């Protein structure tokens, strides 16, 4: 079947089998490697992308379900040569070690800040519940989110 997706602002048509998952379309068909594959069960969050603005585990979401949807990957966050506020804050706060979970984590945080512009620590941790990081212990990640809030607000004012 042929599906139509708006991926990072560009309309894309892709031929997929009914069993094809969104992560395979993004990685293998479109070459967007920011969507990582780790658990293949939608548990770790490394494959998180935004589908119509909502975080989705792309490794366990059938591609045909996203037909007609807008997909945002981490590759789209950098605009006009500048990193997104959350990406910059992750760098400034050393909020990653190996970096494997980082793209999915950042996309979840972007969705969080769009829904809750000034989240408290409990809300931040709750939204990150679907993103597993085995390296950092989450302290630096929560700090990065807190530090990204003012810049994110300016970007979206």
The predicted-structure confidence for 1-37, as pLDDT tens digits, reads as follows: 999 999 999 999 999 999 999 999 999 999 999 999 9
Tokens 């989110």 locate to: 145
Residue found under tokens 């007609």? 68
pLDDT tens for 69-124 read: 999 999 999 888 999 999 999 999 999 888 888 999 999 999 999 999 999 999 99
């Amino acid at each position: 079947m042929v599906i139509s997706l708006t991926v990072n602002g560009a309309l894309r048509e892709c031929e997929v089998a009914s069993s094809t998952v969104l992560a395979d379309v993004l990685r293998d068909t479109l070459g967007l490697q920011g969507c990582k594959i780790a658990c293949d069960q939608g548990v770790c969050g490394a494959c998180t992308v935004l589908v119509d603005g909502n975080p989705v585990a792309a490794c366990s979401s059938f591609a045909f379900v996203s037909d007609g949807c807008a997909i945002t990957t981490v590759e789209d966050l950098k605009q006009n040569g500048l990193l997104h506020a959350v990406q910059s804050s992750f760098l400034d706060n050393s909020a990653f070690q190996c970096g494997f979970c980082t793209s999915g984590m950042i996309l979840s945080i972007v969705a969080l800040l769009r829904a809750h512009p000034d989240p408290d620590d409990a809300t931040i941790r709750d939204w990150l519940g679907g993103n597993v990081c085995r390296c950092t212990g989450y302290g630096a990640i929560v700090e990065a989110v807190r530090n990204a809030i003012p810049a994110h607000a300016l970007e979206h004012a």
